[in-house]
Structure 1
């Protein structure tokens, strides 16, 4: 059996993840690093990923709809943390969160027990799409249009209810969220509704989470052969 099939059978990730493991030199057979998916292995071989014996335990990849005011700590005993939202089975996992969404914002947050996955996602420098409600019919926000923190600003006024939905894109959440919260017309929370190719599922209620699908994991990791342009390309448009 080749190493690619072996790692697939032992639930070490999607086919593209397994190729990534091999290319990153994270797979060893009998303490020797292997990078070819065609390397043969037998039952007596000691196969390890990141120095850990392959046992069939699948890494965990989670997407949360983070409530406002919640920290990104995965400690289940810490109040107002992502960890406090975990069910009993997931609490025993050594999970970490992608440390990018301020506690003042709500919406899409990621967590995993695969440190390399979180590192790879962070390296893509994906654009975050933020949404916030505004009071009144707002047709322009000159302060945001002139702010290089934001790569796109879209306003959708609702004349019937006298409200406006603003959607913006940014790569600098630490600067963007305070700027948005300081808007005089803001009338609700700032919510991240997308991170690069990953949109917040419409059926994922606030304070809940689910596992990522294999295609979502691959999309967030970015291409195997990535250039500067492909890493920073904005995958969605506000139109």
Structure 2
């Protein structure tokens, strides 16, 4: 069979991920780098990805709904960390989080044991969507409108519940979270509700996580081309 089918059957990623592995010269057959998906491999061949035999490499891609105050450490022995939320099976994996969401914020965080995936996603410079609620009705927030930290601002007052929902898009999370937390009448944490093409799953409760679907992985990776440093917006 060809190398593309071989890697697919050994669950090395989505079809686009496998093409990316080959494109990035991360696949070897008998210690020779392979970049063509059409190369024929035999059962006796030694196929490796990132230097690891494919039988021992089954990468994990996860999305967390981080509670407020939790750190992004994946150490399962660290209290109030993402690692402390992992089940027994996932605790043994060398997972890393995409460390961009401040401790003071809640919401969407990505984690994986595939460093190349996290690097590729980070290079896309996806826009983050943040949301916070304010007590009372507010029609405008002049202090935010002139702030270059934010690319888009939506202010939605709720007369019935006497609340205002503020949604912004930004690439500077640290400054954005700090600015939103300083707004008058903040009612609850600042939460990241989307990261580039990935919204926070509506069925993912706080302090829980799930694996990413293949389509989500491909969308986060961005286009498959030689210039992975090009940034994209939602």
TM-score tier (shorter): over 0.9
CA contact (8 A) 1:21 1:27 kept: yes
State the match for 2:64 in structure 1.
64
State the match for 2:132 in structure 1.
132
CA contact (8 A) 2:123 2:231 kept: no
State the match for 1:8 in structure 2.
8
CA contact (8 A) 2:76 2:82 kept: yes
CA contact (8 A) 2:130 2:167 kept: yes
Q: 1-side partners of 2:230 and 2:83: how far apart?
A: 30
Matched, 1:190 2:190: yes
State the match for 2:162 in structure 1.
162
State the match for 2:217 in structure 1.
217
Change (3 A) 1:227 1:49: closer
Matched, 1:74 2:74: yes
Change (3 A) 1:205 1:226: farther
Q: 2-side partners of 1:226 and 1:135: how far apart?
A: 48
CA contact (8 A) 1:144 1:150 kept: yes
Cα drift, residue 159 of structure 1: 1.2
State the match for 2:51 in structure 1.
51
Q: TM-score, normalised by structure 1?
A: 0.95
Matched, 1:234 2:225: no
How many residues matched?
234
The one-character-per-residue Cα deviations of 1:187-216 (angstroms, maximum 9, x if unpaired) are 111000000000001110000001100111
State the match for 2:205 in structure 1.
205
The one-character-per-residue Cα deviations of 1:206-228 (angstroms, maximum 9, x if unpaired) are 00001100111001101103768
Q: 1-side partners of 2:41 and 2:66: how far apart?
A: 43
SS state of the match for residue 25, structure 1? Answer: coil
State the match for 1:91 in structure 2.
91
**Gapped runs of 5+ residues in structure 1?**
none
RMSD over aligned CA atoms reads 1.4
Cα drift, residue 185 of structure 1: 2.5
CA contact (8 A) 1:12 1:56 kept: no
State the match for 2:121 in structure 1.
121
CA contact (8 A) 1:11 1:56 kept: no
State the match for 2:148 in structure 1.
148
Cα drift, residue 161 of structure 1: 1.7
**Gapped runs of 5+ residues in structure 2?**
none
Q: TM-score, normalised by structure 2?
A: 0.97
